[in-house]
Each structure stands twice: as structure tokens, then as C-alpha cells.
Amino acid sequence: MRSERALAAGRSVPSARALVALARHQGRSLARSGSFPWAAPTWPGTVPRPVPRLRTGEDYPTEWSRRYPARLFRAVLTDNVTRPAMHLLATPLVRGSELLALVEAPVIFVANHVSHLDTPVLMSVLPSHFRHHTAVAAAADHFFDRRWKSHLWALAFGAIPIERHRVSRRSADTAAALIDDGWNLVIFPEGGRSPDGWQQPFRGGAAYLAVRTGRPVVPVHLAGTHQILPKNGRRLRRGATTVTFGSPLYVDDGEDARRFGTRVEAAVATLAAETRTDWWTARRDAARSAAPGRAGVPDGLVAAAQGPDASSWRRAWDLGPSDGGDDDPGRWAVHQD
């Protein structure tokens, strides 16, 4: 053997410990040299490098925002910052909140959309058992187009990215899974803020989710936020707002998403008429304006909620000033749960 020949020649045989030390030294030398496999292989110069893909937009993962640390932070932020700020800036008058006792979570809140303040105002007036377990469907191309914006809105409002310019199965699956997991969801089915404060035609996403998940829809109408911060507005103007909740809507047997969506849009339009007039007048007008063969669908009120077919100054004139005012006894009230 080699060791016996080494002993016969008078040379010493390295011990196992010495061999291990030698292997470690050679390994460190290779690592310092940066050669493969101790370092990443070099990129061939003739092959273009792929552009790193940033997970933004519809691809942004929001699961972390529904874990306990993020939920705790959001609850503290909402209760101690958002709610006081909204009651100071917008002084919301809440109507129909007693109807929320008629429904069990999870539910889909469907509201008109006229301002970026719609979300914080609505979240600030929800009862705590809804408020702390509610996510918001937000435009993927606007609120999730940058990483820092994605982090911010997911943390502050529990927002999830929704594709609004095309039909997306991924967005629908994400929202449906959220509802199935017990989360309430706020959806603005107009697909964007109204440019002049009038209601825009609804898209079918909210109705589709209700049909798919079997959960009720709670219609909501927000008035006054457009005067505080309109679309493309740069400055906040303190004012009064009104948040009106309607009776929960359930999908009837055999009812498809299109027909149910028409009922949801009509319900929000009826709440808009109630804000401008009163409960009795709005229901009377809804009954009178229902189209023949479409019982319960007040087409006339939907058209009225979308404003007159006229020039922009006439539409602004007909919309009128912010609802409520300094003489409103509930203007400074902070409504308790």
C-alpha cells in the first residue's frame, strides 16, 4: 500500500484531520476565486439577459396584508387615524345602518364612486365587526402599478388588485376566494370615479361575484365626497357627506348575473334619490318608474341618478351643492357602532 511505502521511505502519512483541513482550505480558495460551482456561472455574452419581473398590478401578492400583524396595524390605523380624520373632514351622516343587522358576514358592499375619499369614508362608518374584516377591490393599473403603492394600499385598506379594463379570471378567482374565506368586500362597480359626481353605468363584476359565491349584496350610496375631493382635484375642501345603506339583496333562484346586476344598480340609484329627497318619495318614484315587465327595476331612477343628457355646466347645476350643511344636527356627530 501507498502508506506502507511512505513509511518505508521515512515519510509521514497525513492524518484524517489534516486531510479535512486541506479540503476546507482548497474549498475556500475556490470560493474566493469565484469559479463554478462555488459561485454563480458566468452569463454567455451572446445571450440577452431577461428583464426581472416585478410583481405589480394584478400579479401583486396580498396574502400578507390579511395576516394578523398587518390586520392589527390596519385596525389601529383605521380606529385612531382614519376615522377621526374622516369625521373631521367629511363629517359623515349615516343612514340605514340598522339594516346591517339583518345580514351576516361575509357580504359584498357595492357603492357608487365619485372620489378617492369614498373608501376611507365608507370604512370609517362601518360597524367594527365589518370594518376590521373587510377588503377593498382596487384598480390594479392605478393602485398597484408601483411596488410602494401596492404595499401602501394593501396595508392601509386591505386592498386587492382588480383588473378593470378587461375580463380577468384571475381577479374574479382572487375576489371569490377572499369572500369564501369569510372576508367582506367593497366594490365600486362603475370601474372608476365619476368625472362630475353623477352615477355611471355599473359593470357586472359585483353581480357575478354574488351569483358565484351566493353572498348578499349591500347597496351603498355616498354623497358629498365629490365636493370635498373631486376627480383630478388637488385640494381638499372640508364639507358634509351622507352614507346611505340599503336593504341587502339576495340572488333569486335561476337569476343570472346580468339581471341581478340591474337590480343592484337600481338599488344604488334609489338610495341616491333618497339622499336628494326622502325615503318615501324615493320608493314612490321607484315604483312609478319601473319598466313594464321588469318589476322592481326602476329604470327611470337609474337614468335620473346618471344625470341629465346635457352640457357639463347644466349637469353641475343639477347636481347641486354638497348634501348636508352647517345646520345639519348630525354634522359633527361621531356615530358609534
Phi, then psi, of 109 in degrees rounded to 5:
-90, 120
C-alpha cell of residue 282: 324615493
Q: Is the peptide bond before 106 cis (omega within 30 degrees of 0)?
A: yes
Element containing residue 135 per DSSP (H, E): strand 134-139
Distance CA 248, CA 245 (A): 9
List beta partners, residue 94. Answer: 243
Question: How far is Cα 327 from Cα 147, in angstroms, rounded to an integer?
Answer: 44
The three three-digit cell numbers of residue 231, written as one number:
376627480
Q: Does domain 61-319 have CATH number 3.40.50.150?
A: no
Cβ proximity of 62 and 177 under 8 Å: no
Per-residue pLDDT of the chain (337 residues; tens, 9 = 90+): 555 555 455 555 556 676 667 667 666 665 555 556 666 677 787 888 777 666 788 889 999 999 999 999 999 999 999 999 999 999 999 999 999 999 999 999 999 999 999 999 999 999 999 999 999 999 998 999 899 999 999 999 999 999 887 778 888 999 999 999 999 999 999 988 887 777 788 998 999 999 999 999 999 999 999 999 988 888 889 999 999 999 999 999 989 999 999 999 999 999 988 888 887 777 777 777 665 545 455 566 676 666 656 566 566 656 665 444 444 443 334 444 4
How many angstroms separate the CA atoms of 238 and 86, rounded? 10
Q: What is the DSSP letter of 41?
A: P
Q: Which three cell numbers stand for residue 87?
A: 369625521
pLDDT at 196: 73
| The model scores a pTM over 0.85 | no
pLDDT given for residue 220 in this prediction: 96
- Rounded to whole angstroms, the Cα distance separating 227 from 321 reads 8
Where along the chain do the CATH 3.40.1130.10 domains lie?
61-319
CB 184 within 8 A of CB 136: no
The values of phi and psi at residue 268, to 5°, are -65, -40
Q: How far apart are CA 127 and CA 188, in angstroms?
A: 19
CA 320 – CA 196 distance, rounded (Å): 11
Q: At what angle do helices 205-213 and 257-276 cross, to 10 degrees?
A: 120
What sections of the chain are H helices per DSSP? 2-8, 16-33, 68-77, 83-89, 118-125, 128-131, 140-143, 147-157, 169-180, 205-213, 225-228, 257-276, 279-289, 299-305, 312-319
Given a contact cutoff of 8 angstroms between Cβ atoms, the answer to whether 156 and 105 are in contact is no
pLDDT score of 291 = 55
Residues contacting 4, CB < 8 A, separation 6+: none
Q: Looking up cell 367582506, which residue turns up?
A: 184
Check residue 287 and give left, alpha or beta (phi > 0: left; psi -120 to 50: alpha). alpha
